[in-house]
Structure 1
Amino acid sequence: MKRFSILSIVGLLTLSLQSCFFSEDDIFEESSNQRIESALSEYQTLLTGASNGWKLEYYPGGENHDIGGVVLLLRFEGENVTIMSDKSVKGMDDPDSIRAGEQVTSKFSLLADQSTVLSFSTYNSLIHYWSEPKGVLDADGYEGDFEFVITAATQNDITLKGKKHGAVMHMIRIADNADWNTYISNCNLIRNESAEYATLVGFRNGSTVIPSAYSQENVITFSETDANGKINKRKVSFAYTDKGIRLYAPTTVNGITCDEFIWNNADKSFTSTEDTNIQLKYVQPTDYIPIEFYTEHQWDLSYTYNFGRKDTTETVTFSRVGQSDTLQTKVTCGGLQIKLNALYNHITGMIEFRTQYLTEVVLTLETGESINSFLHLCPWNDEAGTMYLIEKAGIVSTTTQMEPRILSFTDNGRTSGSDLNGFVFYAFKGENRDSEKIGVLETYNNIILTQK
C-alpha cells in the first residue's frame, strides 16, 4: 500500500508539472467533450445515411459464436431502427412469433464509453431474443449481444464487437436497388433446399479432402485430420446469403481454406467462391439408420445413474408418434416408468434426447410432506455439473458398432460452449422451466443403446 501511495503522489506531481508547460488547446483543437460529440454525430450520419440500410450477419454464442449466424437487415432513421430477420423468433413477452421477413421497429442510441457504442436501447425481439434469459437457471440465453462497440468504420463496412460476449461482426451497407424481401426470401429458399442434404463431404477436383462436413442450424461441423492422423471435429458457424452461405471467418480444414459458398440445387452442392474446384456435396452416411429400424428392434439401454455411483441396464422399445419424426420410449426414474421423446433425424438416421417436459409427479419430502411437481428432462454435463434448459440442447446418438448396432451419445452441438454427455430428471413447481425449481431426481450418464 505504501508503494502504491508514493507512486500515486509522484504521478500527480508529474501531471502537475506537465500542466505548466502544455495546455489542452496546444494539443487538441477541440475539447474532449467536443470530440466525443463529433464522433457520435459522425456515426449517426453514417448509420442514417444508408438509405436502404445495413446487413448484419449477427452471431450469438459469445466468443465461441458456435450456434450459427442470423441475417439482420437494419434501417436507421432518426432515433428508430427497423429490423428484418431471416429467422422466426418469439421473445419473452411476445404473444406470437415474429416471422422471418417481418419488420419490427424500435429505438437505438449511440453512447460514449471508452469507444462509441451502438445500443439497441428498447426491446426488439429480432435482436434481444438472442440475449434474453431462457429461464431462472439460464441468465445468458443464447449469449447474444444488443450493445456493440464500434471498432472500425468506412462508408460501406462497420465493424462491431459485442460489448458483453465479444463476438466480432460486420455491418455491410445495402445497395440502394436491393429489395429486403427478396434477399430474405432467397436466404430461406436456400436454407429449405439444402436442409435435406446436410451430410456433406468436401471434394477438390473430385477427390475427397474433407471426409465430413455436417451442417445443422447454421453450423458446419468439419472433420479434419491432425499431424498424428487423429480425426478431430470443429464447429464453424455460418449465415445464409441470397446465393449460398458465408462462414463466420475464412476457415482452413485439411489444408483447404474456404469462406463463402454458392448453393447448386441441381446437384445438391455448395461450391467455394474462392476456388470453384472445391465443393461440399451431399453423401448419405454409411451408418444411416432408417426410423423403422428403431421401432422393429428391442434395445438394451445401459447407463450410469445416482450421480455416477451405480450402473444398470434395462430393455427398452421405441414407438413412432404417427408419421412424425418423434419416437417414444420409457425409462426408469425413482422406480417410475417415465415416457420420454427421442427426436429422429431423417438426414443422419440418428436420434436426440432434448430438453423436454415429461410428466407431473407427487414427491414425498424428507419431512414427510407430499408436493406436486413437474418433471423435466434436462441435458447436462456430469463433470461440470451444468444442465441446459434451452429446448434445442440435447445429446445425439453416434454409431460405435455396426452389427449389432451400438449407439453412444454426445453433445448435439446446438448450444454454445456445451459438452453435454447425459441428462437429468429435474423437478420444477410448474410445467414451465422458468418456474421455481425443486431439484434433481436422477441422473443418466454413459448412455449406450445396444440392438438386441
Structure 2
Amino acid sequence: MKKIFSIFAVALAAFAFASCAGDEDDLFSQSAAERLNEASDLYSSRLTAQPNGWAMQLYPTTKDEAPYGNGYLVLMRFHKNHQVDVSMNNVLTNNVYLSDSSSWDVITDDGPVLSFDTHNEALHKFSDPDDVPQTGTSDNPNDETGTGIGGDFEFIIVDAPEDASYMMLKGKKRGTYNLLTPVEEGVDYESYLTDVKGFMSKMFPANYPTYNLLHAADSLYRFDGADDGLPSIYLDGADAITTGKFNPFLITKRGQDYYLRFRDKATYNGLSVQEFRYSRDSDEFVSVDNKDVYISGNDAISFFNSYLGTSAHRWAVTVSANEDLSTLMSDSYLTIFNQISNEFKAVNKNYYIRSLSLRNDNGAIKLSIDYSGRVPARYVDYNLTKTENSDGSVKFEYTGCDDAAQKILNRVPSIQQMIDLLCSSDYSIKGGDTNFNLTNIRLTSKADANNWIIFGMK
C-alpha cells in the first residue's frame, strides 16, 4: 500500500508538538524545526528518486483561453546538490527546445513547498511578467507585458508516494494541480519533447475542417478545436456556443504508450474521467478510469464524401521530387502509375505527372491527371460515378471521357489500367495513418487488401 505524505500530516505534527511540548516533554524527541527539516529532506529525496527526472503537466492558471489556460509539458531532473535541469518546447520558447539549470529547495511554509529559488530561463517563463511570443494584435502586440502567463514558481507538494511513481503539486498562488510522472532512464529530453509534440500535431492538426468525437456509453459528444489542447466539448447536435465547455489536456508518453489527460476531472453521461491511453489497435484514446468512455477521430467515410462533394476541393496524390510514392500507393497502383509516367515521356520527353486526383466538377466526379512539361500545366479528366454502400464503402464506375481525354488515353493506354483498378471493387475508407487526422485518406480494396492508395486533401 502506498504511503502518502501530505502537507496536512506535517502541519498537524508541528501543531501537536507546539501545543503539548510544555506538558509532555518526552512525547517527541525532536523539535518542531527538526521535524520540519526532516520533512524537507524526505520530500527532497522523493524528487531525486527518479534518476531521469519527471514530466510535469503544468497548468499556469485555471483560465479557459490560450495561452493562459493551456497545459505545458515541462521536463525536470532534480539533483541531490539541489540543482535542477528544466526543459521544454512550446509557444513560450518560440517553439524551439530550451533547457536551463538553476537551484531548487523544499521549504516548509505551512507544509512542504517546492521552490525554484534561482531564476530558470525555462521554468520562470510561467511567472515572469513578460509578453508571450506569437500572441497579441497589431494594435497591441505586447498584450501580456507586465503580467505574463501568470503562473507559479513555488508549488505545494500535495502527494508524494514512497515509491516515487508520481507526484502531485499545487500552484502556491494559482491553485492549479500539476501531475509529475517519471521519465524513463535513457530517454533524451529534447527527443522526448519532439516525439510528443509530433504526436500531438499528427493526432490534432490545426488546419483541416473536421472534429473528433467523445463517446460516453450511449452518448456522443463533439470534441472541437483540440489542436491547441483546449477543446470545446458538447453533446453532438447541441449548440457549441451555449453548451460547449473547455477542458484543456496534455499528451505525455510512458514507455511506448501515449496518454491524454485533462486538467480537470469531467463527467460525461454520468461517467467521470480524466486520463486516456491511446490504443493503436482501435485508433482511440480509451479512458483508464472507465472503458465505456473513449475519444475517436471523425468518421472518415462521411468526411471523404462531404469533402469530395464540394467543387473547391479534391483528393490528390501529388508528386514531388523527393516523394516516395511507395508510401502513398500499393505495388499494384505504383506499377501502373510508373507505366503512365513512362508513356507520357514517350509522347514528350519533357512531360511528367504532377498529380493524380479525385475531384468534383459541378457535381460530377472526375479522375484527373495533371501533367506538365515546358508548357503550362495540363490535365485530363475521366468521368466517374460514386456509389456509397450501406456498409460505408464506396464503389466507382467509369462513364467515359471527352474527345481530348480519349486522344490522351489512346497514346497513354496505361491510364485505362488505372481506371480499371480503381473501379475493380468496393473500397473501404479510413485516415491515411489515423482517423484523428483526415488530411490523408486511405482507400483499400475490399476484394484485395493489397490494393490501396492514399489521397491527400487539396
The structure whose residues are more often strand, as a share, is: 1
Q: TM-score normalized by structure 2?
A: 0.49
* Bigger Rg, which one: 2
Q: Which has more helix, going by share of residues? A: 2
What TM-score, normalized by structure 1, do the two folds share? Answer: 0.50
